[in-house]
Amino acid sequence: MSLFLTLLYVFLCNSVSLSSSLSLHFPLTSLRLTTTTNSSSSSSSLQTSIASRRNPSQSSSSPPYNFRSNFKYSMALILSLPIGTPAQTQELVLDTGSQLSWIQCHRKKQKPTTSFDPSLSSSFSNLPCSHPFCKPRIPDFTLPTTCDSNRLCHYSYFYADGTYAEGNLVKEKFTFSNTQTTPPLILGCAAESTDERGILGMNLGRLSFISQAKISKFSYCIPTRSDRPGFTPIGSFYIGENPISRGFKYVSLLTFPQSQRMPNLDPLAYTVPLQGIRIGQKRLDIPASVFKPDAGGSGQTMVDSGSEFTHLVDVAYDKVKGEIVKRVGPRMKKGYVYGETADMCFDGNNPMEIGRLIGDLVFEFGRGVEILVERQRLLINVGGGVHCVGIGRSSMLGAASNIIGNVHQQNLWVEFDVINKRVGFAKADCSRSIP
């Protein structure tokens, strides 16, 4: 499951609660979902400690927390979180591009190794069909919830890459210690799914994890991926104040009124004002309007931790590809498309040389804020001796948006300051010890 941009929403939200009551710190691992891994081969150690100082932005009744875990490798960001009472550790994909969080609740013999057992948790409860969230709330609800034979609320959730999850909506706590838990949050309890892990939905929707848990900001630092056998990159994830946030450079989020309905707009995404793209020293001739929503919502630029590659609308993609063809066109792998969207790929074991010929890739946001993809990290190993520029064509996804994927968020702190409606960036070596 390499992309988690939701095309069909189970819920659309009207408001976001922005007060902060938790300060959590999770290390995470950059994981590639296109590669099958044996979950039994990884071990996880959980360590919870109460910090000695109190963060002034938090509720006075809730002390800050630190929480750590190590993970397996892939190109999704996988957290191991304690859920239920007593806690059961669940693997969840950190996804800023979707709303509903869901956990694995398979009851089959061949169930995922991290499947949640509701019968073992005293804080677990099902949502009945009479619950307000189990009814279509908006006229253009594309996939409404239904009642199952037990009069429980049934949901189905689909993603852009064809993956899905379906089951019942439930309420459950995230338990971080014996004394600190979140309130009961509405989650999906998946009886059927195409992935082995659940989702931690982190967008601006009212049913996202941050909205229900009343979290005002979170941040993560994704390490560079590595092809070294047996090496596991470890990064960091904070909920609440980041101790190094003073060094961040921020861009304001573009926000949209809930009454503004546009067919191609995701109003719950973290939409940023991308202004241009440079390759080497050349700023590409791409109109700034290409990166902003038009009257129908096309052209929105979002930051999505759940998408592996960056994706661009046709006008921008054609300009990027045209410049790369000028520089290294004869070396391109003809007729090859990775993931049905990315066709700037190369054979051979010389990605550093190809990157040197192309140059650095820069996404410009104005006011000196940039995402720099250095030439030595420009090409991504997709297997079989093939390396690709980590950019795909959005239209091949059936999307009309620009998406900054996690492959272009590596070695960056990325902070989502929800209460101040901004996103911060800071260059970092994300493989180093956590501050």
d(CA 286, CA 87): 50
For residue 374, the tally of other CB atoms under 10 A from its CB is: 14
N-to-C CA span, the chain: 31
Cα(89)–Cα(115) distance, integer angstroms = 9
**CB under 8 Å to 219, separation ≥6 — which residues?**
237, 238, 242, 245, 413, 414, 415, 416, 424
Distance between CA 236 and CA 92 in Å, rounded?
15
8 Å CB contact between 336 and 343 = yes
Reduced to 3 states, what is the DSSP secondary structure of residue 152? strand
The DSSP result for 351-404, as a single string, is HHHHHHHH--EEEEEETTEEEEE-GGGSEEEEETTEEEESEEEGGGGT--SEEE
**C-alpha angle with apex 337: 281 to 35, nearest 5 degrees?**
100
Contact yes or no for 74/49 (Cβ under 8 A) = no
As a whole number of angstroms, the distance between CA 31 and CA 222 comes to 10
- In the residue annotation, 95 being an active-site residue is answered as yes
Nearest-CA neighbor of 278 among 200, 143, 378, 417? Answer: 378
Please name the residues in contact with 227: beta carbons below 8 A apart, sequence gap of 6 or more: 381
Q: What are the E-state strand segments in 148-279?
A: 153-158, 164-172, 185-193, 198-201, 217-221, 234-239, 249-252, 276-279
> Which H helix or E strand runs over 347?
strand 345-347
Helix (H) or strand (E) holding 315: helix 314-328
Catalytic residue among 95, 161, 195, 266: 95
Asked if 314 is an active-site residue, the reply is no
* List 195, 266, 304, 343, catalytic entry: 304
Q: Which residues are annotated as catalytic?
A: 95, 304
